[in-house]
Structure 1
Amino acid sequence: MAHRKVTIIGGATILLTLAVSLLFLNGCGSSSTLPPTPTPWPTPIVVQQSTYTVTRGSVTDYIILDGRASPVYWDPLYFKVDGKLSVLNVSEGQFVRKDDILAELDTKVLSDQLAQARLTLEQAQNQAQQQQASSKYALERARLTLRMQELTLEKMRRAAGQGPTPQLTQAQAELERARVNLQRAQEAYDAVASRPNVAALPQSAALQTATIDYKLAEARYMQALSDMDSQLAMQELQVQLARLTVQELEEKANAAGGSDVNKAQIQVDALERQIEDRRLRAPYDGQVVAIGINLQGLTKAFAARPKVGDNIAAYAALVVIAKPEPLEITVDSSQKRVSELYVGQPVTITHSAWARPFSAEITALPVAMSDSGNQMAGGQAVHIALPRSAPPMANGDPVKVTIEAETHRDTLFLHPAAVRRFAGRTFVVVQEGDKQRRIDVKAGLENSEQVEILSGLNEGDVVVGP
């Protein structure tokens, strides 16, 4: 109306100017005065208001939510230790192979320690090889010496023409038992020799007793030899000593350098594990779908983009990797009316690039809405399984999810434009002759095309739009 008023005033001004000009010209050409021509006013334009008729039919309440295509199988990846980020090798959307290193924490100190530990291991292995070679040759010489002593003893016995006496045989057996007992006692003592209180241990007393028994047995044996050729007795002792030497060298050869090598290898393995704990590897072939500090689920939400030098907490998700297929539709649980959904509820999925929508079904609800509460971490979304007939889509594709929440049949409804709301009041305007009257109504279900009228109007009533 204001615009129309400005137009009328502008036209009257022009007409008035023309009238004055004509009067001035007439005054100049003639002395007679003509009456002024009246200025015509424009006919006001009557704005036609839209009208709507109360109709009977079905009204459906639709829940319309935003969703997106998401991977069914995904995993949050995290470091097991705290540290500073030194390398980030991937970006969102990148495809990776199994065991690819996605990110690394600072390992400079550990790498230096590992290099030193590997050098120590190499030195221990070289020393062990040298000891084994030396022990091998010494053992072989001892075995040859033993064989030579045994041959000499056999030759001397044949020369003597008879075997040892019963007394000598008994003394020899006792000496052998004493030697075996002494050997066992010595081995038991060697096993605990590194302990600080070794003198108080029973192994120490047992070694002393075995030593004394061996000395006594040796004395008795020597006494028994008094009746035999001293050279034959000495040769038997030489054989026994040669045997002891072979046994000692065999034991040393088995343990040559092994302890030092094992210790060095353990140190290397421990440092390698610590470095590996500071590497984030892909558990399978997949796609990086999110990167951020302390990620929650598949989306970054408020997670900050990590930078080299940032402190990364242990067990805080840094990268989310997913298998490209299969996909599902997920709906963020923060949207309105999500609490009204239930598992098994049918839905309709639409996309701007698809010619037709398709039907699907809700398969899982957010953790907060789950009865069992045992869904996987990060399950703060509604999950909708895709049927085989679904059109092709990619991870992250946006979709609209429509759910028929409730339908009332054989009910009255109006177009939403006919229903007015102000200050908590819901009403319509009806035309009665040349007058309009406001009528309060009670609304029920609503959608983009319908508002259910529960009371206040009758079928066929005509309502004036705004």
Structure 2
Amino acid sequence: MSFKIKRAAEWCAAFALAFALAGCSLLPKEEEALAPPLVKPANENYQTETAVKGTISIEVNGSGYFESDHTDMAQFTGQGGRVQEVLVHSGDTVKKGDVLVQLVMEDLDLQVKQQELTLEQAKYNLRKERAVQGNDEEVIRMAALQVEIEQLKFDRLTAQYNSKQLKANMDGQVIFVEDLHPGDYVDTYQTLVIVADTKKLRLTLNTDGMLAAREVNVGFPAEISLKVDGEKKTIEGKVVQTPSSAPQTLNKELAERYAKTLYIQVDDVPKGVEIGAMADVKITTQMKENVVKIPRSGLRNSLGRTFVRTLEEGSKVRELDVEAGLTSSTEVEIVHGLDEGDVVILQ
């Protein structure tokens, strides 16, 4: 029995070995790892500009609007009163002497008419006394004196009547009317209406936030571009008032306006330009010609150095120390260190 058991054990061992070898042949072969592909490093792409010779300038640019060079602020100067009627609106055209605002008359108009009648009666009596031959000179003198008295009364009543009417002092266009309603009370020297002379216009430019505007002085020329009836026109102007040359005023609102406004005189305003018309303004404060210049983004500053990076032979990068000059909003002058034609790498 021991022999049979031994043989059986040998057969089992042989069978297990054969099965193991067969199982290994059934498993898939492991693939060999592929080597990474060889990639050619890409050249770095630079944004560049070529240094050129040309003109560089510092300019003040903005949009302005036309306003009247001469305005009249209509105010009651004698006494105030209650508003009866406002007779104009903003945009209306008026003539000198037109009534703008009417105050409540009460019966003043009737008093004027009554006094006018009394004056005419006194004049009639004087003529009648003078017509009577041999009449006493004293009687004539008293009749003449009565005419003077009635005339004074009439003049004073008329002045009082006129003080209730606010009239235009010149021909022009109404550009402001105080918001008033019947019954509102108005004080003396309160600006109720502003009339502007439409024949004398100037251009105003708000410079709030424009640092370059500080360099603008009276007398600087201005280039003005505008559209008239759909056609673009370019005209010349001259700066006549700057924030630094503005007159002193106790009017706070006007002082604030003067502090941030340039006023430009335009001698030949095109026909059709009205108050409120817009225009583009360019004022050159500094200019240099025939200089080497590059975009501002090409100039670099680091640790006290001012330099540019140039590209040579298509791929070589070189740093050059330079001296910068006039700087505009987009360009910078290079005084030394860079030549015309050099290719500058932009930041």
Q: Same fold (TM over 0.5)?
A: yes
In structure 1, what is the Cα distance between the partners aligned to 2:241 and 2:143?
65
After superposition, the Cα gap between the structure-2 partners of 1:425 and 1:254, relative to the gap in structure 1 and judged at 3 Å, is: farther
- After TM superposition, give the deviation of residue 413 of structure 1 in Å: 1.0
The equivalent of 1:79 in structure 2 is 76
| SS of alignment partner, residue 350 of structure 1 | strand
Q: How many residue pairs align between the two structures?
A: 301
Which protein has the larger Cα radius of gyration, Structure 1 or Structure 2? Answer: 1
Q: Counterpart amino acid of 1:271? A: L
How far residue 422 of structure 1 moved from its aligned partner, in angstroms, is 9.3
2:55 aligns with 58
Partner of 1:416: 296
Q: 1:77 to 1:61 in 2, by over 3 A?
A: same
Partner of 2:90: 92
User: Displacement, 1:103?
Assistant: 2.4
Does the 8 Å contact 1:85/1:311 carry over to 2?
Answer: yes
SS in 1 for 2:263: strand
Q: 1:361: how far off?
A: 4.0
Identify the residue that residue 22 of structure 2 maps to in structure 1: none
Report the TM-score when normalising by structure 1.
Answer: 0.49
Name 2:139's counterpart in structure 1. Answer: 252
Contact 1:54 1:413 in 2 (8 A): yes
SS of 1:369's partner is coil
- How high is the TM-score relative to the length of structure 2? 0.62
Displacement of 1:329: 3.6
Distance in 2, Cα, partners of 1:391 & 1:269: 45
C-alpha deviations, 1:291-312, integer Å up to 9, x for none? 26xxxxxxxxxxxx54342644
Query: What SS does the aligned partner of 1:99 have?
Result: coil
Q: Distance in 1 between matches of 2:112 and 2:272?
A: 54
1:400 Cα shift? 1.7
CA deviations 1:41-67 (Å, max 9, x no partner) are xx9999844112222333223232433
Q: Distance in 2 between matches of 1:424 and 1:67?
A: 40
* Residue 112 (structure 1) aligns with: 107
Could you say which residue in structure 2 is the equivalent of 1:287? Answer: 173
2:199 paired residue number: 325
Query: Higher helix share goes to which structure?
Result: 1
How far apart are the structure 2 equivalents of 1:394 and 1:402?
20
Amino acid at match of 2:283: I
Are the structure 2 counterparts of residues 322 and 415 from structure 1 closer, same or farther at C-alpha, using a change threshold of 3 Å? same
Aligned residue for 1:61, secondary structure, equals strand
Distance 1:34 1:273 in 2: 123
Aligned to 2:217: 341
The 1:75/1:367 distance shift into structure 2, 3 A limit, reads farther
Q: Which runs of 5+ in 2 are unaligned?
A: 1-25
Instruction: Say which structure, 1 or 2, has more relative contact order (CA 8 Å, 6+ apart).
Output: 1
- CA-based RMSD of the aligned residues comes to 5.1
Partner AA of 1:451 in structure 2: V
Partner Cα distance (2:92, 2:302) in 1? 52
Deviations for 1:39-95, whole angstroms, at most 9, x for unmatched residues? x9xx99998441122223332232324333344554343332352562433233222
Following the alignment from structure 1 to structure 2, what is the Cα–Cα distance between the partners of residues 412 and 247?
A: 104
Alpha-carbon distance in 2 for matches of 1:52, 1:386: 42
* Residues 121 and 403 of structure 1, relative CA distance in 2, 3 Å threshold: closer
For the structure 1 residues 363 and 405, does the alpha-carbon distance in structure 2 shift closer, same or farther, using more than 3 Å as the test? Answer: closer
The match for 2:12 is none
